[in-house]
Amino acid sequence: MKINFKIALFSALFLAFAIGACHSSKKTTYQKDYLNESDAARNQRMEWWREARFGLFIHWGLYAVPAGEWGEKNTYGEWIRTTAEIPLKTYDGFVGKFNPTQFSAHDWVQMAKNAGMKYIVITSKHHDGFAIYDSKVSDFDVMATPFKRDILKELADECKKEGIKLCFYHSIMDWHHPDYLPRRNWETDRSTKGAKFDRYVTYMKKQLKELLTNYGDAPHVLWFDGEWESTWNSEYGKDLYNYVRSLKPDIIINNRVGAHRDGMAGFTAPGQFAGDFGTPEQEIPATGLPGMDWESCMTMNNNWGYNKADKNFKSTKELLHNLTDIASKGGNFLLNVGPTAEGLFPTESIQRLKEIGEWMKKNGESIHGTLASPIGSFDWGRVTMKTKGENTILYLHVFNSPSHGQIILHGIANTPMGAAYLAAPMTKSPHFERVDDAIVLDVPTKLLDPINTVIMLQLKGKPDIHMVPVVKNKLTTFVESMYVSLADEGGNAEIHYTLDGTQPTIFSATYLTPIKIEETTTVTARSFRDDQPISGTMQQSFWKKEPKASTPVAAAAPGLQYFYFEGKWEKLPPFDSMKALKKGTVTNFDRSAKNKLGENYGFEYRGFIKLPTTGIYTFSTASDDGSVLLIDNEMLVDNDGLHGTKKVAGTLALQAGYHEFIVRYFNSVGGEDLKVTWASETMDEQPIPDNALFHVKAK
């Protein structure tokens, strides 16, 4: 897995060579272009995966031998070879120590199955290049260890017997193969002379052919990773996607086969090749992504690979809430276990899988084969949905009983047919009734299950559910006036609204065109059909702001002043009180003054930004690692701290003209992105152009 996209990226010294070595591959022509697939064919291929909702991730390899410990530190994981800077010859010594005699494919598969998991994704090869199967094209595999057993073969046989789908994680990045480029920055002992990236790609395809043809109906998913280095690009990704599916047409492939993934958020940039599903890592999208397939992968503790000192395990309650939250948003949950070098799951992982399984035995119906909630999320819990025949079932996952003892579900036009506790159908059913547009259920203070009590609410007919009217405006602040746009996303209702905070009725104003407001105003809206309310009430305040005055600037010159610093930081230091190693002027956020390794450095850019019109402006930084942006000495964007590429934005009312403008940025190691953008009511988000940046020359 990734560590924040920061470690193990290329040095500037090797970059030019690496890029030159990697773009000479000839495009392969396949009998069928699997990138152009009908919706019907795709839906059929994805059907089992969408129904599964819950899978087991297993990170296992040589890194289990040191168990997270090297030198004086014990915080390493599966990235230990590069994070601890272990020379290749030293790391190869782990091959002779990898002998997991306590490994049992039967036990592993049973634990996954009993936990309610429908598929397993295991690392056939991680970034270190070691294969845990019998590879005929490499000696760096499990057959070179004292164990000498094909782990994937044993798992494939057991999974088939138990009805579990076996899937493989295969790293595009390879720190061991002599033709993989680029090298790690610290690997000064490994020359790149004679290395050819295309030759590595050929080797990788040979390994993939072994995986795709030697294990029966496995793998059902190929889960790629390690695609973020500059040597890999979308064209390689498209070719690899077609190659894999030419060998196994029904296989599912994640988006990391291509490039342009948005960091840990796990989704590919719009318009770019994105495989079959997105891969958020260690996070859950806030609102889900309707119409898109995605899977959140998460660790149980802090590491993907085994670390004997890492006891920071999430509770069963948190894991079950994560599973439910993800299912309620239409995604899959891939939960990781890092086995020991002996072949055992950690005791804490075993216990959590057991407890999850106990809940799933009674409530798995509310997870497997469900659809995303049609009515959003709630403070009391989450909702999943199924359609059965002509009718609909809402599964109400109650994490905590509402203080007033009732669950109120607005916007449901269907007739309720019945309610029952899924895990205890013989228990007295919750009382429910219709009140206006809502269905109201009574919930006891003491829940049947303190972690997640599931109430099954049956509705007559297909879902006829109406969310509150939606505000289409991106901003809720304005300077002089604003037009507020509303929409009924169901498309078959009439919106009535008020501007004085009162509840809309059928006699309130009807929304026909955007509403013009010139003062701070609260818009309240509700959808109606046949003169009856069919949704809850939306209420949104819009604030009139006084713009910050511009600054008169005499003799402004194009560009920004920059100040360059070096140091090892985890957060931005006080650059304004430090002595710069270099300084000068740049037309934009140029970083060519950085050191050759592109590590442990920082910049402060100072000057003015010239705004063409008075209005509301949004500025953002997307950086790896930290950055901040100040307007008129006011912190507007705080994107500080060690992290992978992360975007943070801030909004401000500003007068046309010059405003003092400061951007501070630092990079530790690895990825060193910095993008600074602006947008306004009349301008889409875009990089700040050179002609908007100025400075005053020092006298």
Convert the pLDDT of each residue in 190-238 to its tens digit.
Answer: 999 999 999 999 999 999 999 999 999 999 999 999 999 989 999 999 9
Give the Cα separation of 637 and 621 in Å (integer). 7
Whether the pLDDT of residue 266 is over 90: the answer is no
Task: Give the pair of three-digit tokens for residue 409.
Answer: 């579900």
**The pLDDT of residue 5 is above 70:** no
250-262 tens-digit pLDDT: 999 999 999 988 7
Q: What is the pLDDT of residues 657-696, one digit of tens each?
A: 999 999 999 998 877 889 999 999 889 999 999 999 999 9
pTM (2 d.p.): 0.85
The pLDDT value given to residue 671: 73
Q: What is the pLDDT of residues 342-356, one digit of tens each?
A: 999 999 999 999 999
Q: What's the rounded mean pLDDT across residues 38-59?
A: 98
| Residues 134 and 141 sit within 8 Å (Cβ to Cβ) | yes
Percent of the chain with pLDDT over 70: 96
Pairing type for strands 453-459 and 416-421 reads: antiparallel
pLDDT at 699 over 60: no
pLDDT band, very low/low/confident/very high, at 291 (cuts 50, 70, 90) = confident
Nearest to 9 by CA among 598, 627, 568, 571: 598
Alpha-carbon distances, residue 57 vs 255, 288, 339, 366, 620 (angstroms): 17, 21, 11, 22, 35
- Burial string for 214-228 (b: 16+ CB within 10 Å, else e) reads bbeebbbbbbbbbbb
List of domains in the chain: 40-366 (3.20.20.80), 381-459 (2.60.40.1180), 470-544 (2.60.40), 556-696 (2.60.120.1560)
Is 565:578 a contact under the CB 8 Å cutoff? Answer: yes
3-state helix, strand, coil in the chain (%, to 5): 20, 30, 50
What confidence score (pLDDT) does residue 289 get? 85
Residue 697 has what pLDDT? 85
Please tell me the distance from the alpha carbon of residue 41 to that of residue 252, in angstroms, as a whole number.
12
pLDDT over threshold 60, residue 21: no
| Mean pLDDT score, 405-409 | 95
Q: Which residues pair with 604 in a beta bridge?
A: 563, 664
Per residue in 175-185, pLDDT tens? Answer: 999 999 999 98
Contacts 24+ apart (CB under 8 A), 65-70: 65/94, 65/97, 65/98, 65/341, 66/94, 67/306, 67/307, 67/308, 67/309, 67/340, 67/341, 68/303, 68/305, 68/306, 68/307, 68/308, 68/309, 68/310, 69/307, 69/308, 69/309
Average of per-residue pLDDT values in the chain: 93
Using pLDDT thresholds of 50, 70 and 90, give the confidence band for residue 497: very high
Distance, CA of 339 to CA of 64 (rounded, Å):
7
Closest C-alpha to 697, from 520, 558, 535: 558
Higher pLDDT, 110 or 645: 110
Amino acid 499 reads: L
- Integer angstrom CA distances of residue 632 from 22, 479, 510, 573, 622: 45, 18, 43, 20, 21
- Which pLDDT score is estimated for 336? 98
DSSP strand pairing (683-687 vs 634-639): unpaired
What is the DSSP annotation of 47-77?
A: HHHHHH-EEEEE--SGGGTTTT-BTTB----
CA 389, chain centre distance (Å): 34
Q: Is the predicted pLDDT of residue 476 greater than 90, yes or no?
A: yes
Report d(CA 295, CA 289) in Å as an integer: 11
Tens digit of each residue's pLDDT (9 = 90 or more) over 498-530:
999 999 999 999 999 999 999 999 999 999 989
What is the arrangement of strands in the sheet containing 221-225, beginning at the earlier edge strand?
252-253, 221-225, 165-171, 119-125, 54-58, 332-337, 295-298
pLDDT value, residue 271: 82
CA distance readout (Å), 421 to 329, 379, 396, 433, 455? 22, 20, 9, 16, 5
Q: What 3-state class would DSSP assign to 437?
A: coil
Give the pLDDT of residue 698: 72
In this prediction, residue 644 carries a pLDDT of 75
